[in-house]
Structure 1
């Protein structure tokens, strides 16, 4: 019997590759877990609107479990959510798409310990391997677009860039981690091998969020068709 697990989901390339890797390893991902701050009305990690995450869940045929929380209650609410999923779906673990930041892994392992489940990090590696991981994503068949940049690192001309060979060449020339592991940039995955439908994105608009700029799409819907 496959181990049933939940996956922390931001909507970007890292968690998507974690999902792909976990499924290839024989896990059954029964829920995508996304935190939503009460005070912002957007996801914590990428500042994405919840309807965009819902579209991904529908395209992947995996239910999304939103955790409504504040900065102060973030950890406790996450633990509670994992325990709820444990009771509801019988999950044995919670997976994360983190790559090499130890403080992130420590937090995730503490959450798993508190909820009495296993912590899984399918992409975990050394910082030096970040460029290789980016190349692996480009070769994977998934499609992602840059939807948020940290203004102290990358300017808004990076918004709307597809994660492709040209992106690899140009990001390699910056001081940014190629995978954006420290939040230099964030992405939104809109198609790929596990997607039963493609997410069509139109009507671009750039907005400012604190120290970052965010690309929004006024028009977004699923496109049916054979994969």
Structure 2
């Protein structure tokens, strides 16, 4: 079994599910890797504040490494950073939380190979299994809220919603992937079984982008769970 793994981390439920599955199988998550646009303190994937991603790493006791890149240099920067982290942590694997999109898997396998690492996709499934995957997350004990939605897929009212039984009941009525694999929605995980502390946040303003709307999370702090 490979012991040292870097996990691609955007702060949402998919990465969290991958983390949980790998830990339960006995793998060691040496670090999280999160891409950020240069000169912005936001994640590339969800537009979340890097401070909140750092809090997740602290709560899960995993160091977070931010990879600065541009859209044009994204792949190159990712590979070069992985090479550095491979030496630092004696990495053998880079894991991704992708579910079923072949183009995402192909990119992950290519970047892993060029970095001298094995690619792992612990959540990989058939598209038809997406609803069961969401059910598994809802029952996992992890807590997440919706922080971004695609305008053409979900209304603004979905922002801030907890990913719980009611969410599960409502999302199946929409013509979207229940797991949001096509970017229909993105989430932020703030608590769960492997969290040493809970992340407390407040809902801030809603920001409209060209194709999406994003909920600002404010005043993030770690609090004791017991």
Interval of TM-score (by shorter of Structure 1 and Structure 2): over 0.9
Aligned to 1:216, what secondary structure does the other structure show? Answer: strand
* 2:132 aligned residue: 132
Question: Deviations for 1:158-195, whole angstroms, at most 9, x for unmatched residues?
Answer: 00110011101110000010000000000000000110
- Counterpart CA distance in 2 for 1:206 and 1:193 is 29
Equivalent residue for 2:225? 225
Query: Structure 1 residue 2: deviation in Å?
Result: 5.7
Quote the residue 2:149 is aligned against.
149
Tell whether the 8 Å contact from 1:2 to 1:26 is kept in structure 2 after alignment: no
Task: Give me the whole-angstrom Cα distance separating, in 2, the residues matched to 1:130 and 1:170.
Answer: 15
Q: Is the 8 A contact 1:149 1:184 kept in 2?
A: yes
Aligned partners of 2:3 and 2:92 also within 8 Å: yes
**Alignment map for 1:89-168 (pairs within 5 Å):** 89-168=89-168
How far 1:204 moved relative to its partner?
A: 2.2
After TM superposition, the score normalised by the length of structure 1 is 0.97
Q: Describe the SS at the equivalent of 1:128.
A: helix
2:189 aligns with 189
1:140 is paired with a residue whose SS is coil
Query: Once the 2 structures are TM-superposed, how far is the Cα of residue 40 of structure 1 from its aligned partner?
Result: 4.5
Aligned-partner SS, 1:214: strand
Give the Cα–Cα distance (whole angstroms) in 1 for the partners of residues 126 and 11 of structure 2: 23
Once residues 199 and 39 of structure 1 are traced to their aligned partners in structure 2, the CA distance between those partners, rounded to angstroms, is 25
User: Contact conserved, 2:2 with 2:92, CA < 8 A, in 1?
Assistant: no
CA distance in structure 2 between the partners assigned to 1:41 and 1:60 by the alignment: 21
Aligned residue pairs total 226
SS at match of 1:124: coil
SS of 2:137's partner is helix
Partner residue in 1 for 2:28: 28
**Conservation of the 8 A alpha-carbon contact between 1:39 and 1:70:** no
Partner Cα separation in structure 2 for residue 81 and residue 217 of structure 1:
28
2 CA distance for matches of 1:101 and 1:39?
A: 30
Offset, 1:39: 5.6
What is the CA RMSD across the aligned residues, in angstroms? 1.1
CA distance in 2, matches of 1:11, 1:210: 22
CA distance in 2 between partners of 1:23 and 1:64 (Å): 16
Distance 2:45 2:30 in 1: 21
